[in-house]
Amino acid sequence: MKPILVFLISLLTLHSSLRAADGPNVLFIAIDDQNDWIGCMDSHPMVKTPNIDRLAARGTLMANAHCQAPLCNPSRTSLMVGLRPSTTGIHGLRPWFRDVPQWADLVSLPQHFADNGYQTYSNGKIYHSVRTQPASEPNPEFQNWGSRGGVGSRPPAKLIPATPFGNHPLMDWGVWPDNNDDSTKGDYDVASQAIRMIEEMPKGKPFFLAAGFFLPHVPCYATQKWFDLYPDDESILPEMPEGDRLDTPRSSWWIHWSLPEPRKRWLDENDQQVNLVRSYLASTSFVDDQIGRILDALEAAGYADNTIVVLWSDHGYHLGEKSITGKNTLWRNSTRVPLIFAGPGVTAGQTSSKPAELLDIYPTLVELCGLPKLDHLEGLSLAPQLRNARAPRDRPAITSHNQGNYSIVTEEWRYIHYVDGEEELYDIVNDPREWNNVAAENPERLAELRKWIPKVDNGPVAGSGARVLTYYDRQPVWEGKPIGKDDPIPHDNK
Ligand SMILES: [Ca+2]
Ligand SMILES: [Ca+2]
């Protein structure tokens, strides 16, 4: 090697190790399918999440944060590479973005940290697809792999009656294990291994440590003590007005046309509405407890003051609202997510109502940790709002679900545009549950919000599949099957 090149490389190495030595650590906590039923988010009056609430109290809650897609793979891909689903064309549960030649070499968030002198660690579900990679592989997503996470201990048979659309094994909920032992659960192991890493990792280099929890994703299994936090009656149910979908277009059904998640009608017919909501709440409180274990370990190891903690969920979840369970919608229940930052550069104890996107996490962490900026990222740094919750932000939060379906959220409105041109509008200040579609009465508002629909609106990339809707020549096609103009809505609640 030429001496000048060696010199340049050592200079670069020195530069990044110097920067890394100065940077704060990052604790990156992901929750799967966790909607806004979090104590500090004031959405469910009974939910108990004391550990997430104490994190929010020492940081900033972005209370108007939304996912980029209401589905694991597109949401997580977008967050981890900093590009919208409408840019990457990753709309379904397939493909893994590294298998798309155009995106194979994108520098992901943890890779950018590794490139700048951080040691990176992963536990549980961070990406949708990748689990572990051998250390020999070039450019791994993370350098160190811990817990696989996931469901963990499962009952010998499903706890609930057979569900429609094929009795999917994940569609289940209830008390499990039945011996009050949490330690056989995947999420318990995620926390345990993250704690072990905090305790054992070498000092002298900052860390980027990820912990991804699987619950409250279905199957919502939790032990009895978490169920005991919630009454076994209808007082735990969210408000669900009759006929809430009568003022929404038929195309709102296309984006969740036929799915394993049961409709509300099935919950009612099988007396499962209370059981599902209670199982979901129990699972949320159990995950909160695991998060508390990690936060305690961070503190005990002396890292609390020089670590940025970010907590997020990949999208929300319906539990009967708008006649369905699951995700795959453009309403609040699917798009609004917990997003909390705490640590150096973040003001403690404040809540911001400015729109925020999960896409913003990447540029925010880059700025807070002083890493080189990457020009191609489509998010905006939230550092101004993390310093001062009222700092201006003009851009709304934009969610898409398959090509051409968008939701645009400002501080006052949610606008929805479906691929066939149908629209909805909600006054989220006076109607936060989005019960009254006021699109017809507000043509000027529609015109103003329509402008935010991304100009780049790419369809599904080659290899796309699972929960993919296409629409060409006015023909909606759900998972490869055309939806007829007069086809009845499968398992509709009416
Ligand atoms: Ca998810
Ligand atoms: Ca309605």
Q: Is residue 409 part of a domain?
A: no
pLDDT band at 63 (very low <50, low <70, confident <90, very high): very high
pLDDT band at 469 (very low <50, low <70, confident <90, very high): very high
Among the listed residues 44, 66, 67, 72, the single catalytic one is 72
Catalytic annotation present for 318: no
Residue 86's nearest CA partner among 372, 417, 437 is 417
Closest ligand, as measured to the CA of 439 = 2
pLDDT score, position 138: 81
Dump pLDDT digits (tens) for 10-23: 444 444 444 555 79
Contact between 301 and 318 under an 8 Å Cβ cutoff? The reply is no
Residues contacting 122, CB < 8 A, separation 6+: 110, 141, 142, 144, 145, 146, 210, 212
Tell me the average pLDDT across 100-120. 96
Q: How far is the CA of 353 from the centre of ligand 2 (A)?
A: 24
Pairwise CA distance, residues 48 & 291, whole Å: 13
The yes-or-no verdict on residue 255 having pLDDT over 70 is yes
Pairwise CA distance, residues 131 & 127, whole Å: 8
The yes-or-no verdict on residue 116 having pLDDT over 90 is yes
Q: How far is the CA of 96 from the centre of ligand 1 (A)?
A: 15
Pairwise CA distance, residues 48 & 318, whole Å: 18
The letter for the amino acid at 194 is A
- What is the DSSP secondary-structure string of 160-188? SPPPTTT--TT--EEE-STTS-GGGBHHH
Q: How far is the CA of 433 from the centre of ligand 2 (A)?
A: 9
Chain centroid to Cα 100, Å, comes to 22
Q: Is residue 287 part of a domain?
A: yes
Dump pLDDT digits (tens) for 161-170: 999 988 999 9
pLDDT score, position 22: 76
Q: How far is the CA of 315 from the centre of ligand 1 (A)?
A: 6
Dump pLDDT digits (tens) for 195-236: 999 999 999 999 999 999 999 999 999 999 999 999 999 999
Domain hosting residue 162, numbered range: 14-390
- Total-model pTM: 0.95
Contact between 212 and 124 under an 8 Å Cβ cutoff? The reply is yes
Among the listed residues 44, 91, 112, 128, the single catalytic one is 128
Cβ < 5 A residues, ion ligand 1: 32-33, 72, 314
Look over the chain and give the mean of its residue pLDDT values, rounded to a whole number. 94
Q: How far is the CA of 2 from the centre of ligand 1 (A)?
A: 49
pLDDT score, position 136: 76
Closest ligand, as measured to the CA of 437 = 2
Q: Is residue 472 part of a domain?
A: no
Residue 370's nearest CA partner among 11, 26, 13 is 26
pLDDT band at 414 (very low <50, low <70, confident <90, very high): very high
Dump pLDDT digits (tens) for 360-413: 999 999 999 999 999 999 999 999 999 999 999 999 999 999 999 999 999 999
Q: How far is the CA of 245 from the centre of ligand 2 (A)?
A: 5
Tell me the average pLDDT across 318-327. 97
Q: Is residue 408 part of a domain?
A: no
Q: In what order do the strands lie in the sheet with 475-478?
A: 469-472, 475-478, 481-482
Catalytic annotation present for 112: no
The yes-or-no verdict on residue 143 having pLDDT over 80 is yes
Q: Is residue 28 part of a domain?
A: yes
Closest ligand, as measured to the CA of 35 = 1
* CATH code where residue 368 lies: 3.40.720.10
Q: What is the total count of domains within the chain?
A: 1
309 or 22: which leads in pLDDT:
309
Q: Is residue 458 part of a domain?
A: no
Percent of the chain at pLDDT above 70? 95
Closest ligand, as measured to the CA of 436 = 2
Q: How far is the CA of 86 from the centre of ligand 2 (A)?
A: 27
pLDDT score, position 494: 44
Residue 332's nearest CA partner among 274, 415, 218 is 415
Structure tokens of 278?
């209670």
Pairwise CA distance, residues 352 & 121, whole Å: 30
